[in-house]
Amino acid sequence: MLLGAAAIALFGGAQAVAQTSISPPNNAGVTSPREAFPVEPGSDYYLANYSAYEAYLKKIATQSDRMKLVDIGKSAEGRTQWMAIVSSPENLAKMDQYRGIAQRLAKAEGLTDEQAHQLANEGKAVVWIDAGLHATEVITAQSQIHVLYRMLTYNDAETKRILDNVIILFGHDNPDGMQLVADWYMQKADEKKREYNYIPRLYQKYIGHDNNRDSFMAQMPETENVNRQLFRVWYPQIIFNQHQTGPAGMVVFVPPFRDPFNYNYDPLLVTELDEVGATIHSRLIGEGKPGSGMRSAANYSTWHNGMERSISYFHNSIGLLTEIIGGPTPQKIPLIPDTQLPKGDEPMPVAPGAWHQSQSLEYQWSMDRAVLDYAARNRERLLFNIYRMGANGIARGNRDSWTIEPNDIDALKEAAKARQAPSAASEPSYDPRQRNAVDPALYETVLHDPAKRDPRGYVIPLDAQRDLPTTITFLNTLIKTGVDVLRATQPFTAGGKTYPAGSFVVKTAQAYRPHVLDMFEPQNHPNNLEYPGGPPKAPYDITGYNLSYQMGIGYDRILEGFDGQFEKVPDLLTAPAGHVIGTGKAGWLLRHEANNNFILTNRLLKAGVKVAWLKEPTSAEGKQFGAGAVWVPASAAAQKIIATSTQQLGVDAYAVAARPSGAAMPLKPVRVGLVDQYGGVIPSGWIRWLLEQYEFPFKVVYPQELDAGKLNAKYDVLVFADETVPPSNDSPYRGRTPNQPKPEDIPAEFRSWLGVISDARTVPQLSAFAKAGGTIVTIGSANRLGPLLGAPVQPALVRMVNGKPAPLDTKEFYIPGALIRADVDPNQPLAYGVPDKVDMFFDHSQSFNIAAGSPTAKRVSWYSDAKPLRSGWAMGQEKLQGTTAIVDVDLGKGKLFVVGPEVTQRAQPYVTFKFLFNGLLYGPAEAAAR
């Protein structure tokens, strides 16, 4: 067997590797990977695809009494997502009993410590180990094949201990990606020419690498399937999310992680996480497997909630991330001097030299065994501690409690400075360890300020929602992640206010309290600098993301204890059916605030029904409608669509007796071109998903088609997402320049996808398109096109270098993914339905200055506050004041919509989707009216 204990003799071509003494496997009738695949997975120049992996799972599931195979749902492309449950036959026979114990302990409801100890004694540890999330990180899926085989066939003492004490959930996160990447790699007969760096599209149908940023939102089916197992079915105490590639000059990154960690979760989680990480390092080093690093060896932190391993922290589960080197094409470990000196974060350096896929698989095996052996030896403690953390959350939610955030520490220091003299309780100490101490009385007055208590819960009344279907989507994101959502069956009083029956309630007295707080409360990221006075230390991913702001939810924070006649919502919600209100025969009015009304509008336009937007506010049936209300004149076709769609979509239509007065903007069916490029652009993929959800007709467009011109004959609108336009040298717009293959190196069917947006070839065609009546929407870094197209806008967040604008120094201005409050003019068509104050997602974005007196540019959204930060981290935020976020520009007969913030970021900021959706319909309507 290629990957057996005796097979690994040399390490890195220069260093012997000690092998753990593991008993040879007793096959016991289980087909080995070597027998099942045409080439053994883990061999050089070979990747097994998902079809072969799936077939192998089905085969061995029938051959071993240690494994049950479970279908956990379908992928985006319709493949079955399998989970292999591995344990002793005796445990599998009582699987539901042990799952019930894990659930009771994780939810921690109605248990005493004594009962929890008894359940922990009876239960089995549950560990999730996955593979394939990022499909080009191929080691994880190839490794899982061997790990499964070994766990089904090994009979050594450690394996038996693991099987007796642990239920292992082997999941696969991305079936579609494994199939795509493996097939692409294996297509060339000459194995030395095989590669997967140039796959033509994203390896998850819509979002590629961002499938590991979707965890708290669970928009993608694969994420929802995984979350269901983690937080609604199995409740594992350890969630091991395996990745690739490792740090340069090393083999693998293993926790502990660097700071900051998110202050919302239980501190016991942090210490357990470090404990398991240390166990993995010790196992590798004990087996003579050098090259593991931690903390400063990589940029990974535990702040952001959106990743599979990080959402676990907010659910009291130990989330592990490892990043290993390797691949089917042999690699070399480079010699990097700084990695050769042993230190705390890199205890055992690895020698440079050749590296093979099989070696990575042996490391994966050791890491999996370390985690599983830890779980087996600490079974009761893991089970009890997940209860303890859940019980802590329930207790904190039932009493006055405070979450101390970075801003509170700043306030404490300021309060201490304001004291004219130290009190008697805080006389100066000559102990140097106490020299930074302040008056302890400030603990209660500042850190435990009664006004800054954590809420006991949140009330979401239906009548306070601008967009009720979006609110239902928000509640479903909580339910998908195991949060308990309640619904009032009778009126109740909380915080001195009476709420009607039907209101939703989310209490913080629940085991998943950290996740509840993280979704409702704004993030307060610390001011994390490389050194005092130095540049900011880049966070891992983003810093501000709470969904209550991104989705525009109307809710009340209740600081006092409250109760009522509440029922737990048993499963995912559907929006209450909409209705046709009124008996008028002239037509129907729809509110512009609900995103789902764009679906209804698109259905009407597709059917050839007349639809218009009213330019002035109006009223009907006692309701006020802001500018942009949708007007649908009466017709049999419209009546049928409205009657069906209002019920499906949860929106109301108001039947009126006469056409509302005032000017209207007739809409027309639109032909949308969504710009992408070879390899796929993730922000474009998110927009693709949104356009499908909201039923906008569109076609994906590549640069060669743009460069060919005659665009008006095919498109009314072209959408350029963030990252679709490469940056120029020293450009004040961030972006990325794609690395693309030579045409002759890829199949002919994909060659038309090659190319990039260029100033010389593409911009003249875009200019001609707009001047002839086309609409162009640019978002984020794509706004570099604005000045090139002649728009009277210039980037505002710049400094002049050699007479040219360049990005601001990060010490001057730095907003790495945060929510920023902006002003909006909702009377402008591009902003119809948006509130006059809105939280924008801002990620290294640009802001703009409009040329004075320009007759062709209108300011749609802008920053009026010197401190617009609402959630996350911002340095130099005052530089935004007075600048413009979104601009509506006339270009000849057409339009350019310059949208600085990422208004569709990962399909999360529902409240700002309208800037895109409005632009898709408004631009063509305006052009048609000219």
pLDDT in tens, 485-518: 999 999 999 999 999 999 999 999 999 999 999 9
Residue % of the chain over a pLDDT of 70:
96
Average pLDDT, the chain: 94
Write the pLDDT tens digit of every residue in 535-576. Answer: 999 999 999 999 999 999 999 999 999 999 999 999 999 999
Instruction: Note the CATH number of domain 580-666.
Output: 3.30.70
Write the pLDDT tens digit of every residue in 670-729. Answer: 999 999 999 999 999 999 999 999 999 999 999 999 999 999 999 999 999 999 999 887
Could you tell me if residue 816 is left (phi over 0), alpha (psi between -120 and 50 degrees) or otherwise beta?
beta
pLDDT for the residue numbered 5: 34
Question: What are the residues whose beta carbons fall under 8 Å from the beta carbon of 315, sequence distance 6 or more?
Answer: 106, 230, 231, 481, 482, 511, 512, 514, 515
CATH 3.30.70 residue spans of the chain: 580-666
Cis peptide bond upstream of 455, omega within 30: no
Model confidence at 617, pLDDT cuts 50, 70, 90, reads very high
Model confidence at 28, pLDDT cuts 50, 70, 90, reads confident
Residue % of the chain over a pLDDT of 90:
92
DSSP labels, 244-301: --PPTTSSEE-SPPPSPBPTTS-HHHHHHHHHHHHHHHHHHHHTT---EE-GGGS---
pLDDT for the residue numbered 93: 98
Beta strands, E only, 528-677:
556-558, 566-568, 580-581, 587-590, 612-614, 618-620, 623-625, 630-633, 653-656, 664-666, 672-675
Tokens of 809: 């120094």
H or E element, residue 787:
helix 785-788
Nearest-angstrom CA–CA distance, 731 and 880: 19
pLDDT for the residue numbered 582: 95
pLDDT for the residue numbered 622: 86
Residue closest to 635 by CA, chosen among 571, 569, 587 = 587
Query: How far is the CA of 153 from the CAs of 22, 24, 126, 215, in angstroms?
Result: 12, 9, 20, 34
Contact yes or no for 76/685 (Cβ under 8 A)? no
Could you tell me if residue 725 is left (phi over 0), alpha (psi between -120 and 50 degrees) or otherwise beta?
beta
Q: Above 60 in pLDDT, residue 604? A: yes
Nearest-angstrom CA–CA distance, 602 and 730: 41
CATH 3.40.630.10 residue spans of the chain: 34-394
| Fold topology of 672-796+847-863+881-929 | Rossmann fold (3.40.50)
pLDDT for the residue numbered 436: 81
Query: How far is the CA of 808 from the CAs of 93, 495, 503, 730, 805, in angstroms?
Result: 63, 46, 47, 11, 9
Helix extents (H) in 68-156: 89-93, 95-107, 113-122, 139-153
Nearest-angstrom CA–CA distance, 685 and 721: 9
Write the pLDDT tens digit of every residue in 860-885. Answer: 999 999 999 999 999 999 999 999 99
Query: How far is the CA of 382 from the CAs of 56, 87, 116, 237, 387, in angstroms?
Result: 32, 17, 11, 6, 9
Nearest-angstrom CA–CA distance, 91 and 99: 10
Model confidence at 2, pLDDT cuts 50, 70, 90, reads very low
Tokens of 101: 């114990």
Write the pLDDT tens digit of every residue in 618-635. Answer: 998 889 999 999 999 999
pLDDT for the residue numbered 521: 98
Model confidence at 420, pLDDT cuts 50, 70, 90, reads low
Model confidence at 657, pLDDT cuts 50, 70, 90, reads very high
pLDDT for the residue numbered 731: 79
pLDDT for the residue numbered 26: 59
Residue closest to 480 by CA, chosen among 231, 682, 199 = 231
* DSSP secondary structure code for residue 444 in this structure: I
Residue closest to 893 by CA, chosen among 736, 775, 782, 746 = 775
Tokens of 401: 């409690």
Tokens of 452: 């800054």
Write the pLDDT tens digit of every residue in 834-845. Answer: 999 999 999 999
The type of residue at 194 is R
Question: How many beta carbons lie within 10 A of that of residue 742, not counting itself?
Answer: 9
Model confidence at 429, pLDDT cuts 50, 70, 90, reads low
pLDDT for the residue numbered 258: 96
pLDDT for the residue numbered 434: 72
pLDDT for the residue numbered 427: 55
DSSP labels, 149-174: HHHHH--SHHHHHHHHHEEEEEEES-
* b/e code 650-674 from CB counts within 10 Å (16+ = b): bbbbbbbeebbeeebbebeebbbbb
Q: Give the CATH class of 34-394.
A: alpha beta
Contact yes or no for 92/204 (Cβ under 8 A)? no
Tokens of 778: 């640019």
CATH 3.40.50 residue spans of the chain: 672-796+847-863+881-929
pLDDT for the residue numbered 609: 97
3-state class percentages of the chain: helix first, strand second, coil last, to nearest 5: 35, 20, 45
Write the pLDDT tens digit of every residue in 39-59. Answer: 999 999 999 999 999 999 999
Contact yes or no for 870/839 (Cβ under 8 A)? yes
pLDDT for the residue numbered 803: 85
Contact yes or no for 738/208 (Cβ under 8 A)? no
Model confidence at 22, pLDDT cuts 50, 70, 90, reads very low
DSSP labels, 500-549: -TT-EEEES-STTHHHHHHHHSPPB----BSSTTSPBPPPSS-S---HHH
Q: Inter-axis angle of helices 267-286 and 379-397, to 10 degrees?
A: 160
**How far, rounded to the nearest angstrom, does the alpha carbon of residue 597 sit from its chain's CA centroid?**
26
Nearest-angstrom CA–CA distance, 477 and 314: 14
Contact yes or no for 91/65 (Cβ under 8 A)? no
pLDDT for the residue numbered 433: 67
pLDDT for the residue numbered 11: 27
Q: Above 80 in pLDDT, residue 347? A: yes
Could you tell me if residue 688 is left (phi over 0), alpha (psi between -120 and 50 degrees) or otherwise beta?
alpha
Contact yes or no for 775/919 (Cβ under 8 A)? yes
Contact yes or no for 779/720 (Cβ under 8 A)? yes
pLDDT for the residue numbered 430: 61
The β-bridge partners of 489 are none
Query: How far is the CA of 420 from the CAs of 145, 367, 415, 444, 481, in angstroms?
Result: 68, 56, 10, 19, 50
Model confidence at 735, pLDDT cuts 50, 70, 90, reads confident
Model confidence at 7, pLDDT cuts 50, 70, 90, reads very low
